[in-house]
Amino acid sequence: MGVLVLIRLRHLGSVAVAGLLCLILAGAAAAADSLVIVTNQRYPVSKLTREEVREIYLGRRIIEQFLRIRPIDQSEPAIRTAFLQTVLDMSREAYINHWNRLIFQQGGLPPLLKESPEEVVKELLETDGSVGYLWAHDAEEQSGLKVLLTLPVR
Amino acid sequence: MRSLRLSSQRETRYGGGWRRRRSVLLLSALLFILSESSPSHAFEFRGFGDVTFTKNDAAGSQNSHGSFTLGQFDLYLTQAITDRIDVLAELSIETESEQSSQTGIDLERLQISYQAKDWLVIRAGRFHNLLGYWNLTFHHGRQLQTTIDRPSMLFFEDKGGFLPIHLVGLWLGGYVPAGPLLINYGIMAGNGPKITGLDPILLNGGSLDPNNAVDNSGNKAVSFNLTFHPLAVHNLGFSVCGNFSQIEGFDTAGLQVANINQQILCGELHYVTEAVELLAEYYLLLDTDKLTGLGHFVDQSGYVQLAYTFADKYIPYVRYERTAVDEGDPYMAMLEIIDTSRTILGFRYNLSSASSLKAEVRFVNPGVQGKPGNAHVFAVQWAFWF
C-alpha cells in the first residue's frame, strides 16, 4: 500500500513538472513573438527602418513618395506598450503628450486608433498609405499585407 | 487676443445682447463641427480651460486683494479635408481686458496647410510666430505648459507683450534629415505688427496689433526658425530664429508717431524627457526709429526653466526670467516695457493627464509702477483639457 501511494505521488509529480514545463515554454514562445510593421500591397516602398517607423509615428515623416502616410495605433495595451517601447522608447503618457503638443502646435492628424488586430487589417487593406503594427503571428494569417519591418520585442 | 476680434458698428448699436447671441451661435456651430468630426483617433482633445487665483502683496497692484480669473476657454479643431490638405482652427473665449467682465470670442489661429513633402508643408493663415520653443509649442492651452503663465517676454500682444507673437501670412516648413541631425525649418512672411493707442503727448500706453485684417504698410514681416534634433539624443533640440519687421506707431487720434525698424534674433535649447523639462530661450532686439532718427537700441530678454516629474504626478519647477531694456528705446517706451526680472518657484500636481493643479510664488523686480524691490505674487491654477 505504501509503495502504491509512493508511485502515485511520483506520477503526480511528473505530471506537475510536465505541466510547468509546458507553461514555461508557452510563456517563452509568447515572449519571443515579434512585432511587424505592415501595410498593403499598394504602399510604394517594401522596407522601412526602425528610425523611419519612429519618424512616422512621431509625425515627422508624412509623405511616402506620392502618398500621405496614415499611421494606425491599437488600443489593446499589450501590443501598444510593446510597440511604444520597442520602436519609440516611450511610455504611453509621453507618446500621447507628444501628439497633443504636435497637433496643437502645427495641426495635422494623429494616428488612427483601432481596437483590435482585425480592425487594423481592415483599415490597412482599405486605405492607401496606411501603416500599422501587428503581432507577427496575427500578420501571418492575413493575405494582402506587406511586411515592412520585423522587430523582436524586448 | 488682439486678433480677429468680431467687433462691428452693429455690436455697438445693439450692445452686449447681440454679442452674446452671436457667441452662442458661433459656439453652437463649432460644437456641431466637433461632434461631426473624423473617425476615432488615438488622441481625443478638443479644448482647454483654466481658473486662476492671483494675489500680489504690493500695495496698489491690480491683484492686491486677490482675484479669481477665468482663463481662456480654448476650443481647438484640426481636420484633413483632402489627402494633402489640413485645416486647423483655434477659438478662444476670454474676458476682453483685466478691467472688464465682458467676454469675447477670438480666432486665435486659423490655418490651411498643404503637405507637399516631408520637407515642404505650405501653410496660409494666422499662426504663432516662429520665435523659440515656447511660442510654437504651448499656444493658448495652459494645461500643456508646466507653469501657470507664459514667460513675461512671451506674453500675448494684448496682455503687455512686446514680441510679435502672432503673424498673418504664409508659412513654409518641414523636416530635413542632415546626417546625425533632423532639421525642422520654418519661414514665415506676413503682415507686420503696428502699435496703436499711444498717448499723443507721452507716446506711451500702446499695444502691439498683429494687423489681422489689413497691413498698414507695404513692408512685410519675415521670420525664420531652424530647429536641430540630434538623432542620438531624441529629447534634445536647439534652435536659431529671427524676425524682421517695420513697426509703425499710431496715437489715439490715428496719427503716425513712430516707425521702428526691428530685428529680433533668438535662440533656444530644450531637453524634455518624461522626467526632466529644461527650457532656455534668449532674445536680442535691435530697434531703430526711422521717424525720429534717435539712433539704435539693443534690448535683451530670456528665461531658463527647470522642472522634474516624480511618480508622473508631482512636478516642482523653477524659472528665472530677465528683460533688459536699452534706456531711451522708443519701441519699449511705447509699450511701457522696463527692466524686469522674475523668479518663479512652483509646484504642479497632475490630477490626471487631463487636469492639473499648480501653485507658485513669483518674486518680481521691480514691484508696482517701477518701484525698486521685490513684489511677491502668489498664484494657484486649476487647468484642464477635454
Nearest to A64 by CA among A84, A44, A79: A44
Q: What share of chain A is helix, strand, coil (3-state, %, to 5)?
A: 50, 20, 25
Q: Is residue B344 part of a domain?
A: no
B346-369, pLDDT tens digit by residue?
A: 999 999 888 999 999 999 988 665
Of B40, B113, B312, the CB nearest to A107: B113
**pLDDT above 80 (res A51):** yes
Helix ranges (DSSP H) in B36-165: 134-137
A112 contacts B78? CB cut-off 8 A: no
> Does any CB of chain A come closer than 8 Å to the CB of residue B144?
yes
Q: Where are the domains of chain A?
A: 1-32, 33-152
**CATH code, domain with B317:** 2.40.160
A97 contacts B43? CB cut-off 8 A: no
Q: Is residue B160 part of a domain?
A: yes
Count the neighbouring beta carbons within 10 Å of the beta carbon of residue B160: 14
What average pLDDT does chain A have?
82
Q: How far apart, in whole angstroms, are the C-alpha atoms of residue B157 and residue B1? A: 7
Nearest to B155 by CA among B304, B20, B321, B269: B321
If you classify domain A33-152 with CATH, what class do you get?
alpha beta
Nearest to B210 by CA among B194, B190, B221, B187: B194
Largest CA distance in chain B: 62
Any bridge partners for residue B73, and if so which? B93
Q: Is residue B68 part of a domain?
A: no
B144 contacts A107? CB cut-off 8 A: no
Q: Collect all residues of chain A within an 8 Å Cβ-Cβ radius of residue B184.
A: 60
Higher pLDDT, A46 or B34: A46
Any bridge partners for residue B298, and if so which? B286
Instruction: Please name the residue that has the C-alpha cell 506674453.
Output: B155
Helix (H, G, I), strand (E, B) or coil at B21: helix
Q: Is residue B347 part of a domain?
A: no
Give the count of domains, chain B: 1
Q: Which of B28-32, B99-103, B253-257, B362-366 has the lowest mean pLDDT?
A: B28-32
C-beta of residue B307 within 8 angstroms of C-beta of residue B346: no
Q: Is residue B112 part of a domain?
A: yes
Q: List A residues 46-65 in contact with B (Cβ-Cβ < 8 A).
A: 51, 55, 60-63
How confident is residue B23, by pLDDT bands cut at 50, 70 and 90? low
C-beta of residue A47 within 8 angstroms of C-beta of residue A149: yes
Domain interval for residue B126: 9-49+78-339
Residue A100: per-residue pLDDT:
82
Q: Is residue B229 part of a domain?
A: yes
Cα–Cα distance list, B243 to B184, B190, B240, B252, B281 (Å): 17, 11, 11, 27, 15
A121-149, pLDDT tens digit by residue?
A: 999 999 999 999 999 998 888 889 999 99
Q: Is residue B202 part of a domain?
A: yes
For B183, residues 6+ apart whose C-beta sits below 8 A from its C-beta are B175, B176, B177, B226, B227, B228, B229
Q: How far apart, in whole angstroms, are the C-alpha atoms of residue B192 and residue B81? A: 30
Residue B139: per-residue pLDDT:
79
